[in-house]
């Protein structure tokens, strides 16, 4: 498992690529920095440079918001993904990362990206990586949110090695993929690559064909402490595996759904609510290795074929998800779910207003009602939820799906019974 810090990333970049003239470039959409667009900063950047992006919503022109132009650069926001957004405006890819070596990206929400449509020499059309394309590159991606992106292959992100002898071995840590859509790999599609996924969450992603969370093709992907929740596909609600040996350690698969019916399956076959592995060339060629992981409430089953994986022990298969947090953690609860119905919608903002102004009963999970995570329950929480739900505002702080929190402000508020799953 790779544990990454921004200091180590900066060191690795500067050690391998930095020259004596490496610079810090600044970006602010309001015109108060050196550049007003991230792309302008990349156009000017050299290998080893650092690009710091101030809070704001950054858009672009053409087919991509940010083309990294093959440069080994450290790109990071100053204030994190809650305040810094790369928006494809449902018209272009968010970030394109091609042959960038050990570049690094940290602290962005990447939303509303659409994969660029390309055509092969036989006239077949496809699009890849609505939120982000990684081709023949091994960047480190930290603390990013991929939301509401679309492509034929890899709604949130597409990782691909296209040239013999090249590699695509990115590391993604503390990233969230939610509400992305594709035909193959709603959250992510991985092809002929070797990514490391660490403490990442894939939730509410949809594939119209295979791999709601991830579609994994001929790639020895490793997943450590990742969560796959409420993803949906025809085959492989959480994960579709093809001719690959992925490794899962400490992962959770819950409430993922595969929808294929008997007319779409061979006799006795199941569509794999959590994981489906293709086995045309033999089980040994498509066998995930799984240890210390939890499977619960996946529909209609957990893993198919049932004997298509290597059990290294300490795995749990439960009919009902019981998500007890680590010692000292609060929860489980869903941020913003003030009425405790396991969803975030208009009724939650109304519940907060009723409590504040009409004397309604206090919330059984005060931390959930603290929508903006500032440690207090007031009118700004209702406004924050409404802004997110209806005006495209910033995402609510974690947990943005049923989970736990170790924040002192949440623990102080308390959560007696939220009831989320």
Residue 259 to residue 81: CA distance in whole angstroms? 33
Residue 256: name the closest of 240, 226, 233 by CA.
Answer: 233
262: pLDDT confidence band, cut at 50, 70 and 90?
low
Share the mean pLDDT of the chain. Answer: 87
pLDDT recorded at residue 329: 66
Arithmetic mean of pLDDT, 164-170: 83
Residue 8 has pLDDT above 70, yes or no: no
CATH architecture of 86-318: 3 Solenoid (2.160)
pLDDT digit string, tens, across residues 356-392: 888 776 667 888 899 998 888 999 999 999 999 888 8
CATH 2.160.20 boundaries in the chain: 86-318
18: pLDDT confidence band, cut at 50, 70 and 90?
very low
pTM of the prediction?
A: 0.76
pLDDT recorded at residue 167: 84
Residue 221 has pLDDT above 90, yes or no: yes
pLDDT recorded at residue 332: 79
Overall CATH class of domain 330-413: mainly alpha
Residue 94 has pLDDT above 90, yes or no: yes
pLDDT recorded at residue 323: 52
Arithmetic mean of pLDDT, 233-243: 94
CATH 1.10.1330.10 boundaries in the chain: 330-413
pLDDT recorded at residue 305: 86
Residue 342 to residue 338: CA distance in whole angstroms? 9
Residue 269 has pLDDT above 50, yes or no: yes
- For residues 123 and 29, the model is more confident at 29
pLDDT digit string, tens, across residues 99-115: 887 899 999 999 999 99
pLDDT recorded at residue 265: 73
């Amino acid at each position: 498992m790779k544990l990454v810090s921004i200091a180590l990333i900066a060191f690795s970049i500067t050690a391998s690529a930095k020259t004596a003239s490496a610079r810090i470039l600044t970006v602010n959409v309001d015109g108060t920095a050196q550049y007003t667009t991230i792309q302008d900063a990349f156009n000017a950047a050299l290998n080893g440079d650092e690009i710091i992006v101030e809070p704001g919503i950054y858009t672009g022109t053409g087919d991509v918001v940010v083309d990294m132009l093959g440069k080994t650069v450290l790109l990071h926001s100053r204030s994190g993904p809650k305040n810094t957004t790369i928006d494809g405006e449902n018209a272009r890819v968010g970030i394109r990362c091609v042959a960038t070596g050990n570049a690094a990206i940290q602290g962005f929400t990447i939303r509303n990206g659409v994969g660029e449509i390309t055509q092969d020499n036989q006239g077949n059309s496809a699009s890849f990586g609505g939120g982000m394309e990684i081709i023949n590159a091994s960047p480190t991606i930290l603390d990013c949110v991929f939301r509401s992106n679309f492509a034929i292959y890899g709604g949130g992100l597409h990782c691909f090695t296209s040239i013999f002898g090249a590699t695509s071995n990115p590391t993604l840590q503390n990233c969230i993929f939610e509400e992305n859509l594709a035909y193959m790999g709603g959250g992510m599609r991985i092809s002929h690559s070797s990514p490391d996924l660490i403490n990442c969450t894939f939730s509410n992603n949809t594939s119209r064909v295979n791999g709601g969370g991830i579609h994994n093709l001929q790639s020895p992907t490793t997943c450590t402490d990742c969560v796959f929740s409420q993803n949906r596909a025809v085959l492989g609600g959480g994960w579709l595996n093809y001719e690959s040996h992925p490794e899962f350690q400490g992962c959770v698969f819950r409430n993922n759904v595969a929808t294929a019916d008997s007319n779409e399956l061979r006799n006795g076959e199941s569509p794999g609510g959590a994981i489906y592995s293709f086995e045309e060339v033999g089980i040994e060629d498509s066998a995930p290795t799984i240890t210390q992981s939890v499977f619960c409430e996946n529909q209609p089953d957990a893993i198919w074929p049932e004997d298509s994986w290597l059990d290294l022990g300490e795995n749990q298969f439960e009919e009902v998800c019981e998500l007890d947090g680590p010692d000292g953690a609060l929860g489980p609860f869903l941020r913003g779910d003030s009425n405790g119905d396991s969803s975030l919608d208009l009724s939650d903002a109304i519940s907060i207003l009723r409590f504040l102004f009409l004397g309604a009963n206090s919330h059984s999970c005060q931390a959930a009602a603290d929508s903006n995570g500032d440690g207090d329950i007031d009118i700004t929480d209702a406004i924050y939820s409404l802004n997110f739900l209806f005006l495209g505002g910033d995402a609510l702080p974690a947990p943005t799906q049923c989970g736990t929190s170790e924040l002192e402000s949440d623990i102080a508020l308390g959560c007696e019974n939220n009831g989320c799953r």
